Chain A
């Protein structure tokens, strides 16, 4: 019995010198072509978060910001009541001045009239005086403020029109309430039946300032943010999780070890590196390998100028010059002990 298990284990283990990178590339690439056909546009579904191939490309390219960042906020206390969770969600939701007020500019008098919607404020439980204080704090030295009830009048002293428009836009995006960048929070249940808040935008640093938010379980789909907040290992795990779930949604079964290898390759340098010309392939030590990939002339010219050396240790270089590649049996070198008698 144990012998059988041992034999099976040996069969499963990969042989030394196997080209695992190529296997990974093929195993992820082939189902990737299938995904394109199935998922670029889904009929009747509003495409909120990129899924399928676009999302995979986003992860692999190590984009600074995903197209649609999404945060999953877990709470410290496991509420059974949905209402309490909704209350917190309301607290988090960002409200800008333009959401609660109407703007009209008078270009002749150089004035801006802000009409605050009373019903809207009451619904969001915002204090009218608080808003006015926030507006006042934003005013420059040349702007005066008059207010009466829900009307606020900003009088400027001969401000150029362009500046006036700029100032109105600034006032429109005045932050009033909630967490910066967080919008449309939705309360949902996860697989384990726990309430959580899913919201657009990504701003974990500010969210963690809330007492109800559990900083050890809340996450985002923004891998760069995770890298900045939690470090390289967390980023690697995030890459694995994101890729695995996107492929799972598409019902594409790629072995998780392939994804792990890709994520490891993206994070060896201690920072998240994209796969491609500017990242992994562009940082290879071998000149010939880089030149064989993209921007051939650039790499060759730079190598000539800087007097770079190529030790011909990689696969690409050896294919290029027609030598056996250091893979599989080609990896083994034979040295003979020279004995003199």
Chain B
């Protein structure tokens, strides 16, 4: 009986948004997740977060608890950042 709440579907909903401010986002596989957590000796709760409906990852249909790998390109250096989907 419970009504499923529908989110407003905009034109960009299923296509990745291209903008120069958005770096490349990528969902990690389970093996990669393990490697990363081991490498930095952290749990998922300690990682920075990203919202599940974040416009930059919405088109990838992420699940809660996924780790997103972000290829940052700052002015001074390129770096890789990780965020957990909440």
| Interface, chain A (partner B; CB < 8 A) | 215-217, 219, 226, 228-234, 237-238, 240-241, 244, 256-257, 260, 264, 267-271
Contact = CB atoms under 8 A, between A and B. Distances in A.
Contact of B49 (A217, A231, A264, A269): A269
Contacts of B72: 233
B75 A231 contact: no
A31 B74 CA distance: 22
B18 to A, nearest CB: 4
Contacts of B76: 256-257, 260
B76 to A, nearest CB: 5
Contacts, number: 72
Given A231-B55, A270-B86, A237 B23 contact: yes
A257 B75 CA distance: 9
Nearest to A226: B21
Given A240-B74, A256-B74, A270-B86, A234 B19 contact: yes
A244 B75 contact: yes
A237 to B, nearest CB: 5
Nearest to B49: A270
A238 B21 contact: yes
Nearest to B75: A256
23 contacts: A215-B18, A215-B19, A217-B20, A226-B21, A229-B17, A230-B55, A230-B56, A231-B50, A231-B57, A232-B50, A233-B22, A233-B56, A233-B72, A233-B81, A237-B21, A238-B21, A256-B74, A257-B76, A260-B76, A267-B48, A268-B48, A270-B49, A270-B54
Contacts of A230: 17, 19, 21-22, 55-56
Interface string B45-74: 000111100111100000000000010101
